Amino acid sequence: MSKMHVKFTLNGQDVEGLAEPRTLLIHFLRETLNVTGPHIGCETSHCGACTVDMDGKSVKSCTVFVGQADGRQITTVEGLTNADGSLGVIQEMFREHHGLQCGFCTPGMITRAHRLLQENPNPTEEEVRFGIAGNLCRCTGYQNIVKAILASAEQLNAMKEAAE
């Protein structure tokens, strides 16, 4: 099958490559670009392990053709680490509150949490539970994930205030 040329911004850097048009974004990220943070848990849009951020929206990259990513801004969990290599706020809060066990859902979960907190910087517990319902976790029972996201919101808001 003939290949198409794709180009997009990934975690702030321009990337490009060739792919069959039927290639799903998750496979292009993982197998062509070697960005293995986003995982595959179902390939049917149910689990959210493959969640990435595309132009400011959470998308399940197993349900996006690579061509649809052309020219977009994409962020994966790898892009949420601080510039100095230390953990970003949400990553740190997941660690602090034991919001992960096997870690397989974690990249998708953190990427989703990142977007959720942009959409709603002061979510209630209910809003967090609703906002991450597209991401399955089989290990944690979500309780500590919710805690970690609420703690992230608090910390991010405090940082914002301090900066103002």
Partner 1 sequence: MKDEIQTPADRSANLKGMGCSRKRVEDVRFTQGKGNYVDDIKLDGMLVGDFVRSPYAHARVTAIETEAALKVPGVLAVLTAKDLEPLGLHWMPTLAGDKQMVLADGKVLFQGQEVAFVVATDRYAAADGVAAVEVEYEELPVVTDPFRALDPDAPVLREDLAGQTEGAHGPRRHHNHIFTWEVGDKEATEKVLDEADVVAEEMVYYHRTHPMPLETCGCVASMDKVTGKLTLWGTFQAPHAVRTVASLISGIAEHNIRVISPDIGGGFGNKVGVYPGYICSIVASIVTGKPVKWVESRMDNLMSTAFARDYWMNGRIAATKEGKITGLWCHTTADHGGFDACADPTKFPAGFMNICTGSYDIPVAYLAVDGVYTNKAPGGVAYRCSFRVTEAAYFIERMVEVLAIKLGMDAAELRRINFIREDQFPYQSALGWEYDSGNYHAAWDKALTAVGYDALRQEQAQRIADFKAGKTRKLLGIGLTHFTEIVGAGPVKNCDILGLGMFDSCEIRIHPTGSAIARLGTISQGQGHATTFAQIIASEIGIPADDITLEEGDTDTAPYGLGTYGSRSTPVAGAATAMAARKIRAKAQMIAAYLLEVHDGDVEFDVDRFVVKGAPERFKTMKEIAFASYNQAIPGLEPGLEAVSYYDPPNMTYPFGAYICVMEIDVDTGEHKVRKFYALDDCGTRINPMIIEGQVHGGATEGYAIAMGQEIVYDDMGNHKTATLMDFFVPTSWETPHYTTDHTVTPSPHHPIGAKGVGESPNVGSVPCFSNAVHDAFRPFGLVQSHMPHDQWRIWKIADDLGLHG
Name the site residues for ligand FES (rule: CB under 6 A): 40-43, 45-50, 60, 62, 100-106, 137-140
Cβ–Cβ < 8 Å for 4, 18: yes
Q: Decide: helix, strand or coil at residue 91.
A: helix
Closest CB to ligand FES among 54 and 105?
105
Q: Is 39 in the site for partner 1 (CB under 8 A)?
A: yes
Shortest distance (Å) from residue 46 CB to ligand FES: 5
Shortest distance (Å) from residue 16 CB to ligand FES: 23
In the list ligand FES, partner 1, none, the entry touching 143 (Cβ below 5 to 8 angstroms by class) is: partner 1
With CA atoms as reference, report the closest residue to 145 among 158, 128, 121: 128
With CA atoms as reference, report the closest residue to 19 among 35, 31, 36: 31
Half-sphere exposure in the Cβ direction for 64 (13 Å, CA):
22
Parallel, antiparallel, or unpaired: how do β-strands 73-75 and 4-10 relate?
parallel
Q: Is 76 in the site for partner 1 (CB under 8 A)?
A: yes
Whole-angstrom distance, CA of residue 43 vs CA of residue 149: 25
Among 28, 50, 72, 142, binds partner 1 (CB under 8 A): 142
Q: Is 13 in the site for partner 1 (CB under 8 A)?
A: no
118: number of Cβ within 10 Å: 12
**What residues line the site for partner 1 (CB under 8 A)?**
1, 20, 22-23, 27, 30-31, 34-44, 46-47, 49, 76-78, 80-81, 87, 91-92, 94-96, 98, 100-107, 110, 128-130, 132-146
